[in-house]
Structure 1
Amino acid sequence: MTTLLFVVIAVILVALVFDFTNGFHDSANAMAGPVATGALKPRTAVIIAAVLNLVGACLSTEVAKTISNGFFDEALITAPIILAGLVGAIVWNLLTWLLGLPSSSSHALFGGLIGAVIVGAGFSSVNVSVVMSKVLLPALIAPVVAGIAAALATRLAYRVTRKTPSSHSETGFKYGQAFTASLVSLAHGTSDGQKTMGVITLVLIAAGLQPAQTGPQWWVILAAGLAIGLGTYSGGWRIMRTMGKGIVEIETPQGSAAGAASTATILASSHLGFGLSTTHVSTGSILGSGIGRKGAEVRWSVARRMLYAWLLTLPGAGLVAGLAALLSGLGIGGVIALLVLLVVACVAIWAVSRKHVISRHNVTDSHEVMVLASAAAKSFANDPRFGDADKRAKSTTAKEQL
């Protein structure tokens, strides 16, 4: 096996790993609402999302073509540079997942690739106008548009059903929320599923294994669709809790309105080839639905944390990828060292996450439940009135609520 072929295979495998992280990082975009309201059970929700992500990934290739033929000068891009960009995106995705922050997997990928390309091939290799028009501009406009649409739709939904018996409207909106969430999953596949296809196509073109200005091959489409589907099935429960319970307490009419607004925005952007962040759109819709419901409590402190994560994603992933590009540029030894460091980083982040496990069993716990349970566990541990056996039993009971 030649050195070039080894690096290309490594890039393809790492790209599919990124696609997997994209799936579990972004599964909350569609299913946080219906899981939070009980419209869908957690495991049912991720199964539906996984299947529809796979289907959506096979429906269109416009975004993939934008990435493989528009962002960079393909003549100056090498496989080690693309590998470094993917490493930056994966590390950023895992860090934000650990913190439960719904940052953008798409922007992590774009930031990683841009940072690696600048370090490895020079700033002139980046097509700044395409990045501005296809990434940065939609990042500013799309969440606002989705938020306004969700706010108006939420207000309309409550007004139309104000004289309808609550039990009837609740049941109807649960079905509606499950339907619109499924549409978001399908739309997510048409958008984010294509980004990994574009990266793999880019590395094949850079290695001379595929003609320039061509789209993804059938096996690339299938592999990327399966990877994002499997990632979605794994859950991504940390971010799902933040989006479903952390920003605003979602009711079923809000969930239906937010899902419809997200779907329309994502599908329109995918059709135009925009490298849109489905996370930004879905979060904007959820915030808009909170604004649209009279008396809803929007937790702006959580929203601010998310905004900071959004602002840091492009430069943060770019910085990690730039450092990775310095290592991957040292030849085959540097590439192997980078792969080893990636594995170590993934294992370390996973190990830290096991200290506070969030699963389908506790994903719908509210912020208040988490705080009270944690405080209860500490109180019992420090209370001299209870014996060791009592403290262990009561502390365990409190922690199980997390």
Structure 2
Amino acid sequence: MTASPASPASLPVTAPPGPAAPLDLLYSETEEGLRAAVRSLLADRCDAAAVLARAESGTPHDPALWHTLAADIGAAGLLVPEKLGGQGASHREAAVVLEELGRAVAPLPYLTSSVLATEILLGCDTPDVAPLLRELAAGRRVCVPAVPLTLAPGAPLPAPVKDAGGGVLTGTVTSVADAAAADVLLVLADTGLYAVPAASAAPTPLVPLDLTRPLARITLDAAAGTRLADPATARAAVAGALLSGAGLLASEQLGIAEWCLTRTVAHVRERHQFNRPVGSFQALKHRLARLWLDVASARAAARAAADALATGSPDAPLTVAVAQAYCSGVAVRAAEECVQLHGGTGMTWEHPAHLYLKRAKADSLALGTAGHHRGLVADFAELPAP
């Protein structure tokens, strides 16, 4: 185990006033209603065939679907206060949306825009961010942070882009997720945080493992940006957003694992060998039983992380680290089992199993690897490095 490069004290925590609220892992009626709305939308307009077709086209982002989810359902503004045009909800509701997006491997910039970028802007808490937050909450704009998707909570932030003066920015950032869908980029510069029109950022598409979440290299060559926050505020806001993003990413990983388990169980019930369903063989029963236990545990970990973030628990950094350290591996194992237990069918391009395996593998690197988060858990528990 490798110790994290940052101490637990460096992670942002906002403790709630008074005694901490008890941990609540159950879904509320409101959350179940939100789940039903999102699942119905995705079942109707984002089935596996549609996702695969858009991924093959090289333009996975569906603006019409995004508008329905973001504006009509109001999912884009869940984390935005009502006074800024949002829903005034919490990380619990956002986690439910990400579960459903994971179940559908939906190629939508929800994690990057409605979670990471929104959290950065909320962390700045300056008058300059209010207009942009209103646009994001209404679904009229997509905003993406110009930071590598692999950047983890507790890790040192990358060298900032250089400001030549007056918000004229020069520099390069690689592995930026969903830049192709963005209207605005949030750029961390040496003089603070800037909002830069995506059209002036010259994104160069990269070849990602996960075709449903495209990556790009952002090159700023004397690009004009609007300053939103000073350097200290900007770096603290980015650090806080990475913590929230990692915690909610666990819910997307949970959704991936749940779909893979459900689809695999259905397949082994229907597939027959030697005049028996293959699911009746004891070896497969044991594998699927172990996977069910893994998914149930992942659900508890992901819900705990979402609840800790929603309540501002002082244990939120630890809870998030535990969720990421566990859910990351469960999603990958579930997707691998899905491919293998589907036999030859699972190996084909036409079957959606490969989409889930690639998303699970890519998510295992996003916002910190499982090893990084295990290092954070060791730090919080004050375990000595080997």
TM-score (norm 2): 0.27
Question: Which entry has the higher C-alpha Rg, 1 or 2?
Answer: 1
Q: Which has the higher contact order (CA 8 A, sep 6+)?
A: 1
Structure number with the higher helix fraction is 1
Structure number with the higher strand fraction is 2
TM-score (norm 1): 0.26
